Chain A
Amino acid sequence: MAVFEYILMGFLVICAISVSFSRNLLNSILIFMSYSLVMSIIWILLESPDLAITEAAVGAGVTSVLFFVTLKKIHALGEEDEETDE
């Protein structure tokens, strides 16, 4: 079980670093979503299921959806592809 926890922790650190280093904003949000999911699993392992439910619903669900809508509003979703095409 301790090994599993260490793997999750390592995944958490990798996610946190790659969110800030990813050039594509959409990828950043997806990584952030997975960060929240891993975090909720860690909350369960730390024996606080209340926080795990909230983290999964708010962190991985609603916040990411709001991020997506914001990206759409500022027209940042389709422009990355055009740049890579050039």
Chain B
Amino acid sequence: MSRKISEEEYKRQRIVRMKHWLSGEKDLYLDNMEVIPREEYKPDRKQLERYEHDLDEVMTRTYDTEHNRVYRFFQRFYKMAAVLCCTVLVLILIVEVSYLPPIGSASNPASNEVAAKYIEDGLQDTGAVNIVTGMILDYRAFDTFGESNVLFIATCTVLILMRNDKKKGKGSAEDEERRDSFYEPKKDVILQMAARILVPVIMLFGVYIILNGHLSPGGGFSGGAIIGAGLILYLNAFGFEKTERFFTEKTYKAVSFGALLFYCLAKSYSFYTGAHHLESGIPLGTPGAIISSGLILPLNICVGLVVACTMYAFFALFRKGGF
């Protein structure tokens, strides 16, 4: 049962007016709004002074550190809490260390059959005299591949953060570099002379460490870091114009991609052959010779190239936002 209402009453209902407003026929507020004329602003001097006085009072009370009891309590509390936390942490660590087995003891959990196997069969399995390199580039070669990739990804991240894409004008890479090294001595004779003598020696030492990674201490990572340090010294002494003759972004890309790709192809065959078939089929050669121990030497060179390029790229990106 519905109650009939008149046409006028129906039109005055809120829902109908809403409908009209939505369809844009009539603005409900257009003529019905009451606008109160604003009074002219007169600054009340007395009131303003009172406000300022109150504000001053609050500020002085807040920052009155000598008479504020809560503030002083927390000042002391933070100091005591810091000392307490440090002491407890140090105590926990010292107690923990006192329960560790002594260094070099034969009954340590670390000296189990894995370490014994590496030491006994390492030379036969890998052909490397330096057992550390044999471990990280033969038994654990896949871990080292991950490490090289981490370095590469780190360079990509620095590239995203520091890259300066402007070619010319204000704020470009060259301008940035010029502004950055404005107060530096240009073409410093002492530095150039020292670099001229030191850089070849450093480079040779790095190459020696990389190539002898399977015979003597060192390997791809340390040798690459040394070569990178040599490149940075050369860059600092002679500037970007000289280094760009042999090292640009294209060189970096080609060397890094090539080295990582070779490493990946050389070691990820085990994805297809299964973990049990890890022999590469390359003869191991006589232990002690430079060309021996199968894939370790080329893998060392790959890691060294990636690390050297990464070190140099880090420095160049930090310096001017490009290569």
A residues with a Cβ closer than 8 A to B are: 48-50, 52-54, 57-58, 61-62, 65-66, 69-70, 72-73
Contact = CB atoms under 8 A, between A and B. Distances in A.
B173 to A, nearest CB: 14
Contact of B219 (A50, A65, A66, A73): A50
B234 interface: no
Interface of B: 130, 132-133, 180, 209, 217-219, 221-222, 225-226, 228-229, 232, 311, 314-315, 318-319
B319 A69 contact: yes
Contacts of A70: 318
- Identify whether the interface residues of A are mostly helix, strand, loop, or mixed: helix
A54 B318 contact: no
Given A57-B229, A62-B232, A72 B180 contact: yes
Nearest 8 interchain pairs by C-beta: A49-B217, A57-B225, A53-B222, A54-B222, A61-B229, A69-B318, A57-B226, A50-B217
A52 B216 CA distance: 13
A44 to B, nearest CB: 9
Nearest to B103: A46
Given A50-B217, A50-B218, A53-B218, A62 B225 contact: yes
Contacts of A48: 132
Contacts of B228: 62
B222 A66 contact: no
Contact of B314 (A50, A53, A54, A66): A66
Given A49-B217, A50-B218, A53-B217, A66 B315 contact: yes
13 contacts: A48-B132, A49-B218, A50-B130, A50-B133, A50-B218, A50-B219, A50-B222, A53-B217, A54-B225, A57-B225, A58-B225, A62-B232, A69-B319
A28 B102 CA distance: 34
Contact of A61 (B209, B221, B225, B314): B225
B210 to A, nearest CB: 11
B315 A65 contact: yes
Contacts of A62: 225, 228-229, 232, 311, 314-315
Contacts of B222: 50, 53-54, 57
A17 B282 CA distance: 51
A73 B225 contact: no
Nearest to A68: B318
Query: Considering residues A57, A61, A69, which has the most beta carbons from chain B within 10 angstroms of its beta carbon?
Result: A57
Contacts of B314: 62, 66
Nearest to A53: B222
Contacts of B217: 49-50, 52-53
A77 B225 CA distance: 26
Contacts of A72: 180
Given A66-B315, A66-B318, A50 B229 contact: no
A65 B217 CA distance: 25
Contact of B209 (A53, A66, A69, A73): A53
A5 to B, nearest CB: 13
